[in-house]
């Protein structure tokens, strides 16, 4: 029996907060800054007559609420009865349609805002006006990160708050414009929520919702396998993977494979019946078409010049990015099968993954240029074809140097979604300084650009000129949260449920950092400091948690290891 969307929603919590700063303007307007944008509404003191209230996320050049902010950046004007203590937010047809997650009736409609302006309110006591925030329960003390790079620290704060604020629907959604769950968004959201607070329940509910109500991108079917593996690896709970095992196997898209293991959405095997087996075309399927390859945000009217965020990737029938996802999904599905005791399946899936990996390297690699091409028959090499191969561990050692060099030559030629995999590719291949540079960059394709514009949540895209309908509340832009936790602090599970874990910091040129990482067994604390040729790494673990600790050697130095005062 298929559950309703409401049955997947996690319980929501309402909290109210006073304004962070208050100003009384010359025209009698009361201006309130609540410090961070959040989804919610206002609580108001009683008064005679009506309120005229303006809410929004962005200020204009004069420091007033921007009433024409552009894109999907939010601004709202409301007239409200002074007899009602709670400001009633009108529903928006753009995010309350047939595919959207609706707010529970007992909570009511919400709006993302940081600022409020109340007209004709010069004499009103601002202490009686509060921002009511709606989100799932969230432990703000569960995680921490600070370092010798102040930009990196602010990026961490931006991402952490984004994860907290965007739980307002009780399930991960793609921001306020549509409020629709998507697998690609949810996969990044899951990793970042694990990094900053845990979030195991809402991540699982979103994942299972998407198995019932999937979206259209080819690669994102395989994101469901990625989410299932991360759920199993972090929590150690097998029930969800057991229950959805067969559809997860189908989500690897193994049914589209040709003799060499590669898949294509141009295959005659891609029938309506095949797509329906993935739960496409259900009652909440609003997209009007079946599977289509994505790679990254496509060209079209979204972007200046129509070039999109694909680095001019050539969309071939046999697509390198799609098949990198396919190989990765097979590897993870094999691991899931092994944990569940399905040994024959595990071996078969692992063999199939090896076959796909070999075909990718035999057919789609250009040995003269040392790069992966965009697909069978293509002569073009994009950032994406190479970064996904690196991120998923599909590049043989002897080819890594040329592929890494090519990826670095392209810069941030991907969307904020693609940035997750670019950063993973670099961190997994010894390029932590390059990854740190991307995360702390100050150009217009950076998280610092979001902060400097005044946002307290990550954006859907790097800037309006790159996506002209972007919003300012998109959790798929939070890659630094999980990259800093999993790679810079270096905390990752090795066995399901953190039965064993690894702490392998990748500090690059950072002089110091420290952090707190939530796990199902309790918090892990990591602190690193470098002074001259001496480095100190302190790791504090919960009781009964076994960890493998790795500290990479410094070039030009010979390390002497001292643990708890004892030389090793």
Residue range 390-409, pLDDT digits in tens: 999 999 999 999 999 999 99
Residue 2 reports pLDDT greater than 80: no
Per-residue pLDDT band at 201 (split at 50, 70, 90)? very high
190: pLDDT strictly greater than 80: yes
> In this predicted structure, what is the pLDDT of residue 298?
79
Q: What is the mean pLDDT of residues 504-524?
A: 97
pLDDT digits (tens, 9 = 90+) for 122-132: 889 999 999 99
DSSP secondary structure code for residue 65 in this structure: B
Rounded to an integer, the average pLDDT of 516-542 is 94
| Residue carrying the six token digits 């190479």 | 386
Question: Cβ of 44: how many Cβ atoms within 10 Å?
Answer: 22
Average pLDDT over residues 270-297: 95
* Banded model confidence at residue 302, pLDDT cuts 50, 70, 90: low
Q: What are phi and psi of 495, to 5 degrees?
A: -130, 155
In a 3-state reduction of DSSP, which class is residue 117? strand
In this prediction, residues 429-451 reach a mean pLDDT of: 97
3-state DSSP assignment of residue 399: helix
Asked if residues 196 and 208 have their Cβ atoms less than 8 Å apart, the reply is no
Helix 416-427 × helix 383-391 angle, to 10°: 50
pLDDT band at 561 (very low <50, low <70, confident <90, very high): confident
pLDDT confidence bin for 568, thresholds 50/70/90: confident
Structure-token match 């030629």, residue found:
413
Between CA 159 and CA 447 the distance in angstroms is 9
Q: Angle at the Cα of 491 (from 488 to 495), degrees rounded to 5? A: 145
pLDDT at position 361 over 80: yes
* pLDDT (0 to 100) of residue 286: 95
Host H or E run for residue 16: strand 13-18
Nearest to 116 by CA among 39, 47, 57, 175: 57
Segment 226-235 mean pLDDT: 98
Instruction: Identify any residues that bridge with 542 across adjacent strands, giving them in sequence order.
Output: none
**More confidently predicted of 49 and 116:** 116
Q: What is the pLDDT of residue 307?
A: 66
> What pLDDT score was predicted for residue 283?
87
Taking residues 527-537, report their average pLDDT.
Answer: 90
Average pLDDT over residues 526-533: 92
Closest CA to 478 of 418, 420, 415: 420
State the pLDDT confidence band at 310, using cuts at 50, 70 and 90. very high
What share of the chain in percent tops pLDDT 90? Answer: 90
Residue ranges of domains in the chain, CATH in brackets: 12-135 (2.60.120.260), 216-410 (1.50.10.10), 502-567 (no CATH)
**Which of the two residues, 64 and 6, has the higher pLDDT score?**
64
Q: What is the DSSP string of 234-281?
A: HH---HHHHHTHHHHHHHTTGGG--TTS---TTSTT--HHHHHHTTTT
- The strand pairing partners of 56, in sequence order, are 75, 115
| The token pair that represents 500 in the structure block | 């064993």
Which pLDDT band, with edges at 50, 70 and 90, does 291 fall under?
A: very high
- pLDDT at 121 exceeding the cut of 70: yes
With a pLDDT cut of 70, the percent of the chain lying above it is 98
pLDDT number for residue 5: 84
Which pLDDT value is given to residue 308?
81
Average pLDDT in the chain: 95
Residues 275 and 291: beta-carbon distance below 8 Å: yes
Average pLDDT over residues 234-258: 98
Residue pair 97/4 in contact by the 8 Å Cβ criterion: no
Give the full edge-to-edge strand order of the sheet including 500-503: 491-493, 500-503, 546-549
303 band by pLDDT with thresholds 50, 70 and 90: low
Q: Does the pLDDT at position 560 exceed 90?
A: no
The answer to whether residue 559 scores a pLDDT higher than 90 is no
Range of weakest confidence among 1-5, 208-212, 476-480, 551-555: 1-5
Q: Is the pLDDT reported for residue 452 higher than 60? A: yes
């Amino acid at each position: 029996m298929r559950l309703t969307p409401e049955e997947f929603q996690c319980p929501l919590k309402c909290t109210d907060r006073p304004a962070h700063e208050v100003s009384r303007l010359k025209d009698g307007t009361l201006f309130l800054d609540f410090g961070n944008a959040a989804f919610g509404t206002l609580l108001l003191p009683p008064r005679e007559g009506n309120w005229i209230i303006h809410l929004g996320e962005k200020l204009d050049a004069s420091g007033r609420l921007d009433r024409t902010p552009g894109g999907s950046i939010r601004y709202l004007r409301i007239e409200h009865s002074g007899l009602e203590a709670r400001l009633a937010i009108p529903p928006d047809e753009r995010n309350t349609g047939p595919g959207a997650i609706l707010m529970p009736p007992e909570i009511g409609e919400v709006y993302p805002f940081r600022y409020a302006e109340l007209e004709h309110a010069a004499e009103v006591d601002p202490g009686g006006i509060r921002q009511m925030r709606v989100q799932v329960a969230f432990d703000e003390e569960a995680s921490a990160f600070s370092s010798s790079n102040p930009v990196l620290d602010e990026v961490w704060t931006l991402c952490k708050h984004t994860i907290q604020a965007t739980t307002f629907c009780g399930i991960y959604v793609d921001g306020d414009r549509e409020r629709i769950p998507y697998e690609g968004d949810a996969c990044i959201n899951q990793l970042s929520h694990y990094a900053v607070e845990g979030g195991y329940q809402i991540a699982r509910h979103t994942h299972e919702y998407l198995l019932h109500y999937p979206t259209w991108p080819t690669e994102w079917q395989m994101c469901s396998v990625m989410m299932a593996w991360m759920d199993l690896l972090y929590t150690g709970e097998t029930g969800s993977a057991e229950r959805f095992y067969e559809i997860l196997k189908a989500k690897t898209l193994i049914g589209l494979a040709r003799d060499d293991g590669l898949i294509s959405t141009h295959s005659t095997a891609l029938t309506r019946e095949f797509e329906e087996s993935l739960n496409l075309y259900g009652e909440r399927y609003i997209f009007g078409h079946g599977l289509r390859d994505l790679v990254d945000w496509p060209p079209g009217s979204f972007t200046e010049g129509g070039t999109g965020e694909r680095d001019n990737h050539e969309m071939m029938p046999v697509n390198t990015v799609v098949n990198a996802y396919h190989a990765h999904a097979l590897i993870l599905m094999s691991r899931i099968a092994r944990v569940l005791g399905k040994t024959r399946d595990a071996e078969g899936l692992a063999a199939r993954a090896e076959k796909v990996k070999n075909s990718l390297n035999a057919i789609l690699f250009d040995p003269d240029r040392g790069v992966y091409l965009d697909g069978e028959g293509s002569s073009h090499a994009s950032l994406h074809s190479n970064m996904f191969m690196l991120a998923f561990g599909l590049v043989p050692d002897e080819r890594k140097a040329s592929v890494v060099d090519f990826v670095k030559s392209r810069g941030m030629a991907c969307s904020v979604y693609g940035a997750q995999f670019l950063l993973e590719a670099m961190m997994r291949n010894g390029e932590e300084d390059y990854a740190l540079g991307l995360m702390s960059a100050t150009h217009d394709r950076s998280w610092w650009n979001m902060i400097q514009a005044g946002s307290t949540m990550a954006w859907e895209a790097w800037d309006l000129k790159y996506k002209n309908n972007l919003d300012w509340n998109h959790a798929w832009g939070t890659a630094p949260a999980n990259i800093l936790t999993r790679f810079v602090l270096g905390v990752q599970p090795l066995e399901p449920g953190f039965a064993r874990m690894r702490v392998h910091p990748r500090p690059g040129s950072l002089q110091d950092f420290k952090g707190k990482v939530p796990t199902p067994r309790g918090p892990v604390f990591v602190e690193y400091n470098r002074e001259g040729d001496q480095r100190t790494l302190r790791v504090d673990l919960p009781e009964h948690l076994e960890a493998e600790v790795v500290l990479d050697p410094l070039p030009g130095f010979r390390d002497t290891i001292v643990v708890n005062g004892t030389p090793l």
